[in-house]
Amino acid sequence: MSRTVKIEIYEIDELEGSAKEHALAKERELTRDDTIEVLLEYFQEKVQEAGYPTEDIRYSLSNCQGDGVAFYSGKLFDCTTVLKRLELIPQDYAGVTYYAQIINMNLRYHHYNSMIFEPSDCDGVYSWKDEWIEKVKEDIKSLSIDLEREGYSIIEWAETEEKMVESANERGAVYLSNGVEFDEDKGTTYSKQ
């Protein structure tokens, strides 16, 4: 014996109250990986623009102690671009190459205080000036703090109700009146854990 069951379905912006909050929370979970990807791409772009290595960027932005953004080199990198950007050496400088390393001093947290800047010999001669070292350390700290602040802003923007509604509508998601997503293909409801 077959039965016909009529179910009312809604788009996310048609829901109200706790049903809408439930649907928005589930949409945030679904889009979290996209947000993480956007953050990492943004951090890589900004760190590279500043002249630092991008192969090891780590961050934690969950409003907890120890949160922040850090970038490590793991090996020596050419710091000449950084020195030029900071106007410590002329833009047309073509002398020795200035090498340095940014080391992870704290394996648990990744923020502006977890990076150690270590200058190295420049083509066999140590020619770093103390003033330069301090300026680069300040620049690393400043960039890390800026990235943390900007990262929180990106997360806040990416998780707004407007962005969640847009995401759900782009996916063609529909919901029961309680905010649980309805799978039209299967004719059943599902809730992603």
∠ at Cα 62 (61, 64), nearest 5°? Answer: 105
pLDDT of residue 190: 46
Residue appearing with tokens 């070292």: 133
> CA–CA separation, 69 vs 175, rounded Å?
37
Sequence length of the chain is 193
* Residues 71 and 102 sit within 8 Å (Cβ to Cβ): yes
CA distances from 130 to 76, 84, 108, 135 (A): 19, 16, 29, 9
> Rounded to two decimals, what is the model's pTM?
0.80
Q: Which residues of 133-158 are buried (b: 16+ CB within 10 A; e: fewer)?
A: eebbbebbeebbeebbebbeebbeeb
- Give Cα 61 to chain centroid, integer Å: 8
Q: Give average pLDDT by consecutive 10-residue segment, the chain, 193 residues.
A: 83 93 92 90 97 94 84 92 92 82 86 92 74 96 97 91 92 92 67 42
pLDDT of residue 187: 58
pLDDT of residue 4: 80
* Residues 38 and 17 sit within 8 Å (Cβ to Cβ): no
